[in-house]
Amino acid sequence: MTGSLGDRLNQARELQFIGRDGEIKLVRDFLTAPDPPYALLYFFGPGGVGKTSLLRQITSFAQQLTMQIVQLDGRNLDPSPAAFLGSIQQQLALSSSDGLIEELGKQRTLLTIDTAEHLFPLEGWLQESFLPQLPTRVYVIIAGRNPPALRWQAAPGWRDLMHVRSLENLSAGESRDFLAQRKVPASEHKAILQFTHGHPLALSLVADVVAQQPDTHFRPEEVPDVVKTLLEQFLQEAPSTNHRAALEAASQIRLVNEPLLQAMLQVADAHPYFEWLRGLSFMDAERWGIFPHDLAREALSTDLRWRNPAWMAELHDRARNYFMAQFRQGNPREQRRVLEEYIFLHRENPVIRPFFEWQSSGAVFTDQYRPDDQPAVLAMIEQHEGAAAAAIAAYWLERQPAGTIVLRSADSETHGVLIQVSLEKTTAEEREIDPGAQAVWRFLQKQTSLRRGETATFFRFWLAKDSYQDVSPVQSRIFLNMVQHYLTTPGLAYTFIPCADAPFWQEVFAFADLHRLPEADFEVDGHTFGVYGHDWRRVPPLNWLALMAERELGDAVESTTDLASQSGLEPVVLDEAAFTAAVRDALRHYASQPALLENPLLNSRLVISRSPAVESPAERAAILLQLLRQTIDQLQHSPREAKCYRALYHTYLQPAPTQEKAAELLDLPFSTYRRHLRQGIEQVVQRLWALELG
């Protein structure tokens, strides 16, 4: 057999393609007519109804006509003009986007856009800018879950230039032809058709099951859920336990690629299992990986949850570890994408699920605040919170513009804003302007003052243009940015979130370990705000992630979740002077555990955060000793600091009888030895202080 794997895959898909005669005739007429009556075909229908399969068939026909093919998929693109044009540029092998329109028109070209619902922020730009520029030799076919927006029908000219068609389930005859093509016995057709009603995805799943269990009879009356039952039967016949595990893994994450699958299966080579997944009838692909159709995902996940919850939790743990490794290595934009994947792990939790728009948070994207955004930002704030709030927002935009991000669509329209105020950078005079800043600052001062190198963030304004602080794609994106801030801000001590409807967010914020702080509530222009906060010195980011992991698959949310509750200890917040003194004391008593048991560092965030469950002072002393040893050992790898390492080593780790003897061992004048020792202690203090601040 010759040809590439892709060619063989396309041939197999064409052989299995059944029905859609009306749609195929429509497309043939469109692509072959000397003067087509319309410029755009638009197919829409629910997930699994066969839109992508139809586009593949259309592309095959266009290739027979020797047309140039350009294929776009909304799942693979940011909803921005630049990303849209960049994908076309890449497919045409152009060095730049200059002349792209002319290049498209050099020959008859078919441009297909699949999963158009992911690009709905681009509809205005497509309608008003991109499509009108296309030469008549470019034929455009769009497919998506939703019908075109009203703006297409209302726009002059477009109503007559586009043909819209809904894709329905296959007819009874087409369904029988499909099952016969898949070698399903005719005796089974009636029961299958009655059960699937011609839904292409369900038919395909049934065919997979029957092909692997040819001696069984399909009995729809015995099962209440078509997809769940089909998948349960199919899973029993996976080629191996690893194949089955691969499918279960794919059901838990939004997208799977080979590196992620390898991490979740913990195998040396995930390629065979990934290829098997990709060949399944209910799997689809986008830019970052493959994924099961929605109904298939739900069925797989439901089956796994009741059948093997421990394995489900293990899959989540492996995926989580992989995502956090990717997060640490990524740039800010990549970090936000990874966080979307990470948070998707929580989609089945009944507490968090209602508060996150899982499917549509990609409708807007995070962008930097620009001075010309100010009118739109202030108008949004004034609309929802009043003129006084808008004046406060203008004040912070002038003083801390770097702390503001905007949420915008591909056409650059501003749909939301997050204004972050770094409280440690504010003055008393600045805080007097803002009752909110005053309230949270007073609360913070009552708790404990910020230490050198620490920061506290007040998410002063967060809202969507249309839905304010209600659940929405914009709100979901704002929360992603907040989480990114938690995980990437050095020295973060406290964060505060003001809510216009504080009770509404109580359950989900408790899940996320955000505590209600009535003492920090405030009022502006008749609008009252309830404040939630998190002390990152008590529950540092790594411990917070571990807490979220524990709650990921469960329902219960405990009210007390800080380091004190996790370890049975009350963490102490040492100022820099006390911390320095404690480190010096720990070095002096490195070889004396009884004295070390009294060191205040044993109750510091530095020690407790590394093992919250450890309550024994002796075990925490061992953790402190390990931190000291690791920090000192780091110095020996730098030629400049190796002299400090040697002085520390012979003074504390393997101490000489006296410091004079240590100087003799190092063949140094005593004054030089003392200088090296002093510099070494300073280095250890600085490095441990950085760890204490996070």
Q: How far is CA 474 from CA 267, 527, 606, in A?
A: 38, 22, 36
Q: What are phi and psi of 378, to 5 degrees?
A: -70, -35
Instruction: Tell me the average pLDDT across 100-106.
Output: 89
Percent of the chain topping pLDDT 90: 36
Tokens of 87: 């994908």
pLDDT value at 62 more than 80: yes
How many CA atoms, within 13 angstroms, populate the side-chain half-sphere of residue 449? 4
> Which of the four pLDDT bands, split at 50, 70 and 90, describes residue 96?
confident
Quick one: pLDDT at residue 356?
67
Tokens of 545: 């992630």
pLDDT digits over 624-636, tens only?
888 999 998 999 8
pLDDT value at 591 more than 90: no
> According to DSSP H, which parts of 33-155 are helical?
51-64, 81-91, 100-104, 123-125, 131-133, 150-154
For 691: left if phi > 0, alpha if psi spans -120 to 50, otherwise beta; the answer is: alpha
Which of the two residues, 569 and 190, has the higher pLDDT score? 190
Q: Which of 537, 544, 583 is nearest to 683 (CA)?
A: 583
Q: Which of 2, 136, 139, 161 is nearest to 59 (CA)?
A: 139
pLDDT value at 316 more than 60: yes
Euclidean distance between CA atoms 402 and 455, whole angstroms: 15
Q: What is the DSSP string of 239-277?
A: SSHHHHHHHHHHHHSS-B-HHHHHHHHT-S--HHHHHHH
pLDDT digits over 428-475, tens only?
999 999 999 999 999 999 877 788 888 999 999 999 999 999 998 899
Instruction: Tell me the average pLDDT across 210-221.
Output: 67
Tokens of 300: 């797989």
Percent of the chain topping pLDDT 70: 88
Euclidean distance between CA atoms 611 and 623, whole angstroms: 8
> Which of the four pLDDT bands, split at 50, 70 and 90, describes residue 564?
very low
Tokens 């009944």, residue located: 350
Helix (H) or strand (E) holding 507: helix 502-511
Q: How many CB atoms lie within 10 A of CB 375?
A: 10
Residues 6+ apart with CB under 8 A from 279: 9
Supply angle C-alpha 314, 315, 318, rounded to 5.
85
Q: How many CB atoms lie within 10 A of CB 258?
A: 16
Q: What are phi and psi of 470, to 5 degrees?
A: -75, 165
Euclidean distance between CA atoms 538 and 455, whole angstroms: 14
Quick one: pLDDT at residue 281?
61
Residue 394, SS3 per DSSP: helix
Quick one: pLDDT at residue 8?
52
pLDDT value at 644 more than 70: yes
User: Among the ranges 116-120, 226-230, 347-351, which has the highest mean pLDDT value?
Assistant: 116-120
Q: How many CB atoms lie within 10 A of CB 289?
A: 21
User: Among the ranges 4-8, 198-202, 531-535, which has the highest mean pLDDT value?
Assistant: 531-535
Instruction: Tell me the average pLDDT across 82-109.
Output: 89
Instruction: Tell me the average pLDDT across 2-18.
Output: 56
pLDDT value at 352 more than 50: yes
Quick one: pLDDT at residue 565?
44
268 and 249 Cβ atoms separated by less than 8 Å: no
pLDDT digits over 397-430, tens only?
999 999 999 999 878 899 999 999 999 999 999 9
Quick one: pLDDT at residue 348?
72
Euclidean distance between CA atoms 498 and 508, whole angstroms: 14
pLDDT digits over 150-161, tens only?
778 777 778 788
Instruction: Give me the chain's average pLDDT, please.
Output: 84
Instruction: Tell me the average pLDDT across 94-99.
Output: 84
Which of the two residues, 502 and 576, has the higher pLDDT score? 502
> Which of the four pLDDT bands, split at 50, 70 and 90, describes residue 99?
confident
Q: How far is CA 304 from CA 245, 297, 317, 393, 435, in A?
A: 10, 11, 15, 48, 50
Euclidean distance between CA atoms 540 and 9, whole angstroms: 49
Quick one: pLDDT at residue 490?
86
Residues 6+ apart with CB under 8 A from 49: 167, 168, 169, 199, 200, 201
Quick one: pLDDT at residue 153?
74
In the sheet that holds 109-114, the strands lie side by side as: 68-73, 109-114, 138-144, 40-44, 162-166
Q: What are phi and psi of 372, to 5 degrees?
A: -75, -5
Q: Which of 666, 626, 627 is nearest to 644 (CA)?
A: 666
Quick one: pLDDT at residue 141?
95
Residues 6+ apart with CB under 8 A from 387: 525
> Range with the lowest mean pLDDT among 26-40, 57-71, 356-370?
356-370
Quick one: pLDDT at residue 65?
92
Which of the two residues, 440 and 591, has the higher pLDDT score? 440
Q: CB-based burial of residue 373 (10 Å sphere; 0-12 exposed, 13-18 middle, 19+ buried)? A: buried
